[in-house]
Structure 1
């Protein structure tokens, strides 16, 4: 059950996306650190905002902005003749990529490696433990501070109350902040986000004069004005999610330092006496034995010695000049615009690829196009399918659309998602021919190139549009059975085993009944499959169509074979796309004395179908229309 939970989630694209996100966020922290070094003479609140933006970046992957940019893209074929600026930027910002499976041709399948799968399960389990631990610790501290505020005594008069109201007026805070006295010796601090409360130790006031109390109150009110508790809670979430990243904890220290410095600067700007303010901080540290909770914004945070020196020097920082404001705004705009721009470029390339879907490795060279094509619905009520490559084109009778799409796209049927319901039921008669001058070129084309020509026909006449995604799907591995191989190798292969090695893109040519004639011929009838000179890879391809699920060749056999296969037809349930039953073999009921397909493959061919899972490229149909008759 645990394996089933983790397996679909931690796919190579997701792993690459997580690593890229960590790299991008870490790089932005480095940029933030360099910016804060250049802004040391300026107010601390500017540096605090920069650190907070770097923290928020961990919660918002650039991929989200890239996806937004892709939505704005318009179809446009992007030239790849030279690396563009967007490509260079992308290589820097996203150095880790999931391995892309070729989109056409023979099925390329990545079966899961159990050791790596267990390793990722272990990593995820450790991360969950760390996340839960960090979150639980923060919740415990929050509940402790809430209990302390709840048990404290509300105060509605006295010099502390008057000093608090004065600080609120100076900070232009309209909503009064409740003041409570705590019997514990915890330092003064603000607790809460929506309705903040100022917790004041009951015995502290006797050690302070009025000016010192007013300075402390002004400091705490500044925390409320800046909403520091909210930003602290956000960074606490970042620390919980990325507890393993040392730069996140270091960033938290920097945030705390700049937060306290920013409050100190504002207190001094409101004409507080530096001596009284510095002395009040020292007295708070001397009296209050219990440090404030991380959920409470207090007064004694950051480097105490450095703070006292800055307060006594009355260093508030010089305001940003126009050039620095423009530079900071430019950096912020660039940080947002770059991922959006990359998304637009990718969206244009993807839209161009979708609108010209035949642009695949199979037809990277110039291929002939069908000049004339007749497409009509199949009227007969039989199940016969006739597919024949003619000298000047292709002739199809009763061809199911659910077979044409996999053949043209070069993938198995279960790897095509999102097709409308009519695709699974309609059949067509198709007669397509190239121009007479191009007919001689057809005899030199491989089957995968002929498939690419059919794909272009579907794009032109059916308005086919699609895109690729990577998914983990249940499938079958074809292996040699324990009793050994029972098929006969084609005679020509026996005489010269190297002469007829399997060729990429070879495909069966089903006839309309009768025994196969010549090599590379295959006859398919309900419950019967007979072939001459067929590779194991092509057998796996045919079995995939019978089962409705990808079959990958794991036999290690080369050469071509002759065989005949008799089995029970039509009792094999077609699994829905995305089925999560782990590839369980369907339960069969033999018909007319014939065995199930699984049993027939093992008993008659000496091969076995084993259920497994693997990562494959799937094709998602974005749009397809029924063709107009002609």
Structure 2
């Protein structure tokens, strides 16, 4: 059971690291496309916010990987086949294994170590996010409900202007210095007591209008999801840039909604923004997991109010963005849904006969053959249901392992869980052979090797008591059983 769990850890570490690599590459390509769209069109903040949100959402299926691929023939015809990312779901189980780096921890290869490091940091960031969120919830519970007639009448008037039917509660205290909104279904607006004492009614009206815009858009939920997304993909600086752009676009959207719905003159709204900045003098809510009023680039928000860009109802930039992102992920990173198959024995013999193959373990006994009970995919709940090679047991203990045809060594790997070493050899005609559970290896990466040349040994320990031998050709499994006849 521990060995099985260790193999699962290795498999899923390989998958997570592959997804992370795809995520970084797609985030760069998608970001260039979004910046090109933003540069070409003079977009309204509502459209720009939607495009940034579309970009972040697109990264999930594109990197997962869940996007279907164009037919391989089409890609080859367009000359794009060499630029496509590798399909992690097509990697055979033996290809997912990597070098172990800790002798006393047999399953800790490089990929597992990186996976566990990512998991630890992401868990810490998510826990910190949950604690921050809980602090704001407790702050709301400790705050006093505002019942002043002036503020309640102002709140009712602005709720009617937005068409909000949900009840909105106003609270205040001196425990936090900036206004914010929290709550998905029962929204609460927090106003600092010092702000109520020092700012005039027109400024408070702007603050309330902005926070009600967040409630109308249900931004508290989206902001929380955005913070969770950022915590999981903390390793990518491009996501932090996109996250900031989305946050700024969201604040500008709320500014425009407040101006339009509550009929506040844009210049008056801008003056109120400046008064709040002068009152507060630092962006406390920039990294907070709640919908606030302040942001880093106040001058950009004011300029957006005075110089309203673009038409809000133009769908062309969104359509171009969606088409471009889908094209990028489909052409360069799509997943070939055709499951791996076993090459017929007659076809394998015909393709290999001119290479004069030999048995990799001349005196070995076949104890297990190629057996694929289900199509291989990204998730393998049970490794034994996908046995893509044959197992040969030596007679009389340790025995030499030979190359089955001429080739070049492309990798020498120390396998996890004390199951020996792995050697992979590339041959003519697109064939690749793999030899696992080896005791000693006498070749290095890049060495040329001849058919029948001994290069390793097997059978010296209980965990290396047999040779696992695989042959593949263009991601198709070749059944090498005919070599034994």
| TM-score band w.r.t. shorter chain | 0.5 to 0.7
Q: Is the 8 A contact 1:477 1:609 kept in 2?
A: no
1:317 aligns with 2:272: no
Residue matched to 1:123: 114
State how far apart, in whole Å, the 2-side matches of 1:49 and 1:317 are.
15
Counterparts in 2 of 1:534-545, with a 5 A limit?
A: none
CA distance in 1, matches of 2:144, 2:322: 46
Task: Measure the CA separation in 2 of the matches of 1:110 and 1:203.
Answer: 59
Higher relative contact order (CA 8 A, sep 6+): 2
1:25 match: 27
How far 1:13 sits from its partner (Å)?
5.5
Is residue 44–residue 261 contact of structure 1 (8 Å, CA) maintained in 2?
Answer: yes
Residues 608 and 258 (structure 1 numbering): CA distance in 2 closer, same or farther, change over 3 Å? same
User: Equivalents in 2 of 1:235, 1:560: separation in Å?
Assistant: 57
Determine whether 1:8 maps to 2:8: yes
Deviations, residues 212-235 of structure 1 (Å, cap 9, x unaligned)? 222221111111112221221111
What are the within-5 Å matches in structure 2 for residues 36-435 of structure 1? Answer: 36-39=38-41, 41-66=42-67, 69=68, 83-85=76-78, 88=80, 91-92=82-83, 94=85, 112-115=98-101, 117-270=108-261, 271-288=263-280, 291-292=284-285, 294-311=288-305, 314-319=306-311, 325-333=315-323, 335-336=325-326, 346-347=336-337, 350=339, 361-364=348-351, 413=368, 415-418=370-373
Partner Cα distance (2:184, 2:86) in 1: 39
Q: Which residue of 1 aligns with 2:426?
A: none
How many residue pairs end up in the alignment?
405
Distance 1:617 1:241, change over 3 A: farther
Structure 2 unpaired stretches of 5+: 103-107, 355-365, 407-434, 443-450, 473-485
**Residues 32 and 54, structure 1, Cα contact 8 Å, conserved in 2:** yes
Contact 1:193 1:230 in 2 (8 A): yes
Q: Does 1:608 align with 2:460?
A: yes
Is the 8 Å Cα contact of residues 42 and 318 (structure 1) preserved in structure 2? yes
Task: Give the match's secondary structure for 2:66.
Answer: helix
Quote the Cα distance in structure 2 between the aligned partners of 1:268 and 1:51: 23
Is contact 1:181-1:200 (8 Å) kept? yes
Q: What's the CA shift for 1:272?
A: 0.8
| Alignment partner, residue 372 of structure 1 | none
| Secondary structure at 1:346 match in 2 | coil
Indicate the SS of the match to 1:190.
Answer: strand
Instruction: Give the match for residue 525 of structure 1.
Output: none
Cα shift at 1:358:
6.6
Change (3 A) 1:327 1:52: closer
* Contact 2:34/2:51 (8 A) holds in 1: yes
Deviations 1:473-530 (A, max 9, x none): 6998978989x87x9xxxxxxxxxxxxx97659xxxxxxxxxxxxxxxxxxxxxxxxx
Cα 1:231–1:556 shift into 2, 3 Å: closer
CA shift, 1:97, in A, is 5.9
Structure 1 residues 333 and 153: CA distance shift in structure 2, 3 A: same
Aligned-pair CA distance for 1:240: 0.9
Hey, what's the Cα distance between the residues in 2 that align with 1:470 and 1:362?
32
Task: Tell me how far 1:132 sits from its aligned partner.
Answer: 1.9
Show structure 1 runs of 5+ residues with no match: 368-410, 420-465, 488-500, 506-549, 562-604, 620-630
Whole-angstrom CA distance in 1 between matches of 2:376 and 2:181: 53
Distance 1:178 1:615 in 2: 68
1:34, 1:606 → 2: CA distance?
A: 57
Offset at residue 303 of structure 1 (A)? 0.9
Question: Cα offset for 1:617?
Answer: 6.8
**TM-score scaled by length of structure 2:** 0.67
SS in 2 for 1:253: helix
Q: CA deviation at 1:273?
A: 2.5
1:357-377: per-residue Cα shift (whole Å, max 9, x none)?
67955445999xxxxxxxxxx
Q: Is the CA contact (8 Å cut-off) linking 2:20 and 2:63 kept in structure 1?
A: no
- Residue by residue over 1:300-348, the C-alpha shift from the partner in whole angstroms, topping out at 9 and shown as x without a partner, is 113123333444xx222220575xx23531431453477568999934x
Matches within 5 A, 1:468-487: none
- CA shift at 1:606, angstroms? 11
Secondary structure in 2 matching 1:223: helix
Greater mean deviation of Cα atoms: 356-365 or 155-164: 356-365
RMSD of the alignment, in Å?
4.7
- State the Cα distance separating 1:151 from its structure 2 match: 0.9
**CA deviation vs aligned residue, 1:176-204 (integer Å, no higher than 9, x gap):** 21111223352221112232210112232
Question: Offset of 1:241 from its aligned partner?
Answer: 0.7
C-alpha distance after superposition, 1:364-421 (max 9, x if no partner): 5999xxxxxxxxxxxxxxxxxxxxxxxxxxxxxxxxxxxxxxxxxxx973651428xx
